[in-house]
Structure 1
Amino acid sequence: MTASNREWIKLWPEGAPLAQGNGDEDTPAIMAYPVNETGRGAVIVCPGGGYGMRAGHEGEPIALWLNSIGINAYVLRYRVAPYQYPCALSDVQRAVRYVRHHAVDWGVRGDKIAVLGFSAGGHLTASAGTLYDMGNPEADDPIDRQSCRPDAILPCYPVITGQPPYHHAGSMYNLLGENPDPKLIELMSCERQVTPDTPPTFLWHTADDAAVPVENALLFASALSKNKVPFDLHVYQNGRHGLGLAEEDPHVANWTTVCGLWLERQQF
């Protein structure tokens, strides 16, 4: 089954917070890629695109790979420019809550919900793993009563920091606008938001990434290490930015094998 045979599931059927219209780009949604096996975990996939678009090759192909190793997947259509912070973060948090709320009905383990993302989607993934809440037990909407803390995060060649010299200026501009408040830049520098409660993390990057410096992954890994958060870090010697599954590069394509083994270790 391909995306053309699937339907988007709106995360807020009555309209998302801060929505500026009711078109597709105003409507955060997930597309489900379930597996025919109950009791398995789920991964929410956040394609990259500099917070200005969402790259197709970092969406459905990733979901189908996850299906091939027995894991449920949900591709997230999160809001991008002209939408700015906090919209995308709100969207991924809602996606985690939404899947967790429906876990029993969907045959998914509610205690094994991860977020995986690429580039700017990797920043969104790291943000989901560092900026979360445990839900509002008094909320009228039962979905908002759920925790939005992922049980694992998987940032792939991620944008991590908002701080020069390693920040990705285009992503930060789309996310925060021109001349953002320094406090907001600090908040969106994921390496500065890691705590001992940050979820277990799988990271990969290429050492010669010319668009998003590998220091982004290294900064995040260093923060995880300092906080004694379990993590895997894989840095490949060569590879352009935006490889996705990296099928054209047998060396980098190995990331899916080691990632699958890591997810198995996390009992997904």
Structure 2
Amino acid sequence: MSGRVSRPSVARGRSILMAAVFGAIAAGFLAQGVLAQAAPAAVSPPITSQDDFLQTRRYALRAGDDETSLTLFAPQNGRRSGAAVIIAPGGGYVALAANLEGRQVADWFAARGVTAFVLKYRYGSSHPLPQPIEDGERAVRYVRANAQALGVDPDRIGLMGFSAGGHLAAMTVSLSDSGNPAAADAVERVSSRPDYLVLAYPWLEATTLNAEGGSEYCRFARIARLECNPQDYAAYTPLLGVVAKAPATFIYHTTDDALVPVQGSVALYSALATAGKDVEMHLFAHGSHGSGMGGADPALSLWPQALEAWLRARGYFSKQAQPAS
């Protein structure tokens, strides 16, 4: 979009960035155990960095760009089902809660056989919408284009988003396309539409204009001392286009979420259900925003159990037989 204004640098706020410092560059290097098992044969761009202690790898979404990446958390001991999930942490587009809403979630999926990727997308002063959404689209294309090398099935790739990451995930679906067959970059030739969608307390009405002509996206940006014109971002409202393209969708929210009102999730659920889409929603009476996978809360810790049942019923925890080539 044109007409963007320069913005000051942003304090990280609630961001809980990944603590692990990635080690040696891994060109030609194979770690022990699961990393050796899942080592990609022809991923481009190549591995950016690798931590063989925690058995993670990081891939740059675009060659030479360290601002965006996917960090791989692989299932252990041959438990890989072939399914994959890309996780977009929240942070109000001014930070990334990459531990609470990234690494902890990835570990949960990997323990159940799903290859998980935590998405580091652009945010903050110099990266307004739609740049984060472009990173969501690129992430889905990247995993799909490199599915064989990454050991995942190209038609079993999910996208999960928390809070602002939920807005990103829903908008990724809304703006998805089948790819450009003529693109020079092989990643851009494949579809950006995920095969399933998981939204946790998603910020779906972030850019919706209110009666005064403002938006929550811009209100939050201004708290972080960023300039923002609400009209510039009003089109990035998922409900405008997500229903037509939505895959199977799971939604979790709490009724008294004081930061992101539950009405956005209710409206999306209603629209998907009315359209006959495969959708399931779980609402809990109480719970503050940013609950992650529920933690020690005796009620909220139940929502991942509902998600597990939903995923299991759709076969994402089971290894699927592949057609003969």
> Shared topology, TM-score over 0.5?
yes
Query: What does 1:68-107 correspond to in 2, within 5 Å?
Result: 68-82=111-125, 83-107=127-151
SS at match of 1:110: coil
Q: Secondary structure at the match of 2:156?
A: strand
Aligned pair partner of 2:229 in 159, 172, 179: 179
In structure 2, what is the equivalent of residue 200 of structure 1?
248
The structure whose Rg is larger is 2
Matching of residue 247 in structure 1 with residue 291 in structure 2: no
Question: Displaced runs of 4+ in structure 1, greater than 6 A?
Answer: none
- Aligned residue identity for 1:11: L
Question: Aligned residues, how many?
Answer: 255
What's the counterpart of residue 34 of structure 1?
74
Match of 1:137 among 181, 192, 195: 181
- Higher helix content, 1 or 2: 1
Matched ranges for 1:26-65 at <5 A: 27-35=67-75, 36-55=78-97, 56-65=99-108
**Residues 1:172 and 1:123: Cα distance change in structure 2 (over 3 Å):** farther
Name 1:163's counterpart in structure 2.
208
- The unaligned stretches of length 5 or more in structure 1 are 16-23
Secondary structure at the aligned position of 1:144 is classed as helix
The answer (yes or no) to whether the contact 2:86–2:119 under 8 Å persists in 1 is yes
Give 1:3 deviation, angstroms: 4.4
Shifted more, 163-172 versus 249-258: the winner is 163-172
Contact 1:196/1:229 (8 A) holds in 2: no
Contact 2:89 2:101 in 1 (8 A): yes
Segment of structure 1 superposing worse, 143-152 or 190-199: 190-199
TM-score of the aligned structures, taking structure 1 as reference length: 0.88
Q: Provide the C-alpha distance between the structure 1 equivalents of 2:221 and 2:313, rounded to a whole number of angstroms.
A: 36
Please name the residue that 2:15 is paired with: none
Q: Which residue of 2 aligns with 1:13?
A: 63
Q: CA deviation at 1:7?
A: 3.9
Residue identity in the other structure for 1:244:
G
1:88-132 Cα offsets, whole Å, 9 max, x none, are 011111110111111111210110101111100111111112210
Q: 1:115-134 residue pairs with structure 2 within 5 A?
A: 115-134=159-178
Local SS of the residue matching 1:211? coil
- Which amino acid in structure 1 is aligned with residue 169 of structure 2? T
Shift of 1:148: 0.4
How far did 1:14 drift? 3.2
Shift of 1:229: 1.3
Percent of aligned pairs sharing the same letter: 34
- The CA deviation at 1:188 is 1.3
Residue 222 of structure 1 corresponds to 270
User: If the length of structure 2 is used for normalisation, what is the TM-score?
Assistant: 0.73
Q: What 5-or-longer segments of structure 2 have no aligned partner?
A: 1-18, 22-50, 317-325
